[in-house]
Amino acid sequence: MSSSHPVSGPSHLRWLIGLFNVGFLVLFFWFTGFVVNDIGEIPAPSYAELESELIDPNLLKSQLQFQQELELTRSELDAEQRRLQTLRGETDSSQKTMDQLLEFQRLRVEKSMAISVDEQTAMAVAQRQFFEKQDQYQQRAAAVTQLNEELLSLEQQQKKLLAQLDESRQPVHREYEQRMEQHNWKVALWKLGVLIPLLLAVCGLFWGMRKGTYAAMVLMAVLAVSARVISVMHDHFPSQYFKYIFLGVILAVVGRTLAYLLRSRAHPRAEVLLKRYREAYEAFLCPVCDFPIRRGPWKFMAWTAKSVLKITPPVGNPNEVSDEPYTCPACSVSLYEKCVQCNSTRPSLLPTCPQCGFAAAVVPDSTRR
């Protein structure tokens, strides 16, 4: 076994490393977002240009003319209606004035009083103004009626023209949808053409550095690019295709992970075995079968992995403590043996003797009896 051991570092350093790993993941995902957004700026097909190519220009020109005439007619109608409203107010005012003068003359006649020349003149002026306003009101009303008829006629003509345009636009819609689909596939291929090589590159880099110092940082890049690839596929691939691709990738990842876990259980790595053995010795349990290691002061006690931390370690006479080799009575695995260097008793499944520091080349095999 190598003499150099990995050091986890203080807790605040581990927290900082984890925090910066997450930050690196977000920034790398953000970076790939800028890349795909720039690729997405490829000009898309223009519906207006396609319409001008496939539809009769006379129909489009007629529709534009009708639209302009409709806007002009509506504007004139609105102006005439406002004038009509103003004339209606002026006519009502003139009628009220004339009614007041008539009432004033009636009262003078009832009192046998003569009507002056000024009063007669005022009455004549009021009648003339009333009739003039009434004539203007009727003319404006006739103009409003005529404009309404023109507007109705224009709307009916435009309705027929729009029906013709809708029929002419059907091929345009189909052609536009086809071109947009081709454009989306083109953009998707461009994006994936950049992301897939990048994903393969970071995956290869991670595989080569998976046991190195910077493995976690490269893993963040792998996760960021993978998430961006899934996002692009979700945006551009039809749902009936995307679900199969996505599930296929997930099945491949889960299957690969499951195979790795099964291999790890059947043939664990040396560092995994060492961690398992160390934890078991610390809890005074057999690393193979979890049976309590009853030796020395612990010989007549019982405990489990959870209860060992809650009990008080027994205190005995150091001269009476047994330091002889020990074999698990449940699975027959040798747990303590004589050191070949100093002849003291050492843990059989740990690589280093605690007395003389002699280190074995590999982690001992737990299957030996």
Whether 75 and 201 map to the same domain: the answer is yes
Contact 48, 57 (CB under 8 A): no
Residue 367 lies in a domain: no
Whether 162 and 283 map to the same domain: the answer is no
Whether 72 and 126 map to the same domain: the answer is yes
Whether 162 and 216 map to the same domain: the answer is yes
pLDDT at 27: 94
What phi, psi does 268 have (nearest 5°)? Answer: -65, 150
Among 133-147, 215-229, 328-342, 353-367, the range with the most confident prediction by mean pLDDT is: 215-229
The residues that bridge with 336 in the sheet, in sequence order, are 326, 347
What angle, rounded to 10 degrees, do the helices at 239-266 and 215-236 form?
Answer: 150
Whether 283 and 212 map to the same domain: the answer is no
Q: What are the b/e assignments for 269-287, b being 16+ CB within 10 Å? A: eeeebbebbeebbebbbbb
State the chain's mean pLDDT as an integer. Answer: 81
Residue 258 lies in a domain: no
What phi, psi does 180 have (nearest 5°)? Answer: -65, -40
- Mean pLDDT of the 353-360 span: 81
Does the pLDDT value for residue 119 go beyond 90?
no
Residue 47 lies in a domain: yes
Residue 247 lies in a domain: no
Q: Which residue has the tokens 């945006």?
A: 235
Contact 220, 205 (CB under 8 A): no
Whether 99 and 175 map to the same domain: the answer is yes
Q: Who contacts 73 (Cβ-Cβ below 8 Å, separation ≥6)?
A: 147, 150, 151, 154
Question: CA 251, CA 240: separation in Å to the nearest integer?
Answer: 17
pLDDT at 369: 46
Whether 229 and 292 map to the same domain: the answer is no
pLDDT at 2: 42
Whether 84 and 199 map to the same domain: the answer is yes
Q: Which residue has the tokens 């698990």?
A: 328
Whether 179 and 67 map to the same domain: the answer is yes
What phi, psi does 80 have (nearest 5°)? Answer: -65, -40
Residue 150 lies in a domain: yes
pLDDT at 248: 85
Whether 176 and 309 map to the same domain: the answer is no
Question: CA 300, CA 199: separation in Å to the nearest integer?
Answer: 59
Whether 88 and 45 map to the same domain: the answer is yes
CA-closest candidate to residue 232, choices 169, 185, 276: 185
pLDDT at 4: 47
Q: How many domains does the chain have?
A: 2
Q: Which two tokens stand for residue 181?
A: 């689909």
Question: CA 366, CA 85: separation in Å to the nearest integer?
Answer: 105
Whether 232 and 288 map to the same domain: the answer is no
Categorize the per-residue pLDDT at 221 as very low, low, confident or very high, splitting at 50, 70 and 90.
very high
> Which range of residues forms the domain containing residue 321?
270-347
Residue 205 lies in a domain: yes
pTM: 0.54
Residue 4 lies in a domain: no
Does the pLDDT value for residue 109 go beyond 80?
no
